[in-house]
């Protein structure tokens, strides 16, 4: 699903107040961490993840998470990243029209 800039802006506003539901720590991006992210995306659609690594590694991990989960990258600032993946069976978040 390709999101428009206005939809990303709307999701960024919703994600601002979220607490991180998954932390990627010093051991990196393991399969069990990806499974937690998958489960959180299925449950919430919009999640915040904290990635504790240097800047270049964070960007690589964020891109890899989005690629492997099929999530859309919404925003990244510091160690926090926000991602969105629509739940096809039971959508929870109403998006503005493109």
pLDDT in tens, 26-73: 888 999 999 999 999 999 999 999 999 999 999 999 999 999 999 999
Q: Write down the pLDDT at residue 37.
A: 96
Residue pair 29/57 in contact (Cβ under 8 Å)? The answer is no
Residue 89 lies in a domain: no
**How many domains would you assign to the chain?**
1
Residue 95 lies in a domain: no
Domain encompassing residue 16: 5-84
85 contact partners, CB below 8 Å, separation of at least 6? 41, 45, 69, 70, 71, 72
Burial class (CB in 10 A: 0-12, 13-18, 19+), 14: middle
Q: Write down the pLDDT at residue 19.
A: 96
**Average of per-residue pLDDT across 9-32:** 93
| Residue written as token pair 């926090």 | 80
Residue 94 lies in a domain: no
* pTM for the whole structure: 0.92
Residue 90 lies in a domain: no
Q: Other CB atoms closer than 10 Å to residue 32's CB: what's the count?
A: 9
Max intra-chain CA distance, the chain: 40
Residue pair 47/21 in contact (Cβ under 8 Å)? The answer is yes
- CATH number for position 75: 3.30.110.60
Q: Write down the pLDDT at residue 1.
A: 66
């Amino acid at each position: 699903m390709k999101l428009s800039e206005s939809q990303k802006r709307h999701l960024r506003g919703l994600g601002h107040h979220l607490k991180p539901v998954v932390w990627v720590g010093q051991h990196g991006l393991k399969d069990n961490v990806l499974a937690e992210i998958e489960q959180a995306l299925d449950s919430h659609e919009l999640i915040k993840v904290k990635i504790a690594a240097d800047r270049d590694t964070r960007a690589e991990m964020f891109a890899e998470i989005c690629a492997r989960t099929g999530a859309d990258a919404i925003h990244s600032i510091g160690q926090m990243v926000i991602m969105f993946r629509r739940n096809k069976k039971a959508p929870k978040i109403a998006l503005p029209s493109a």
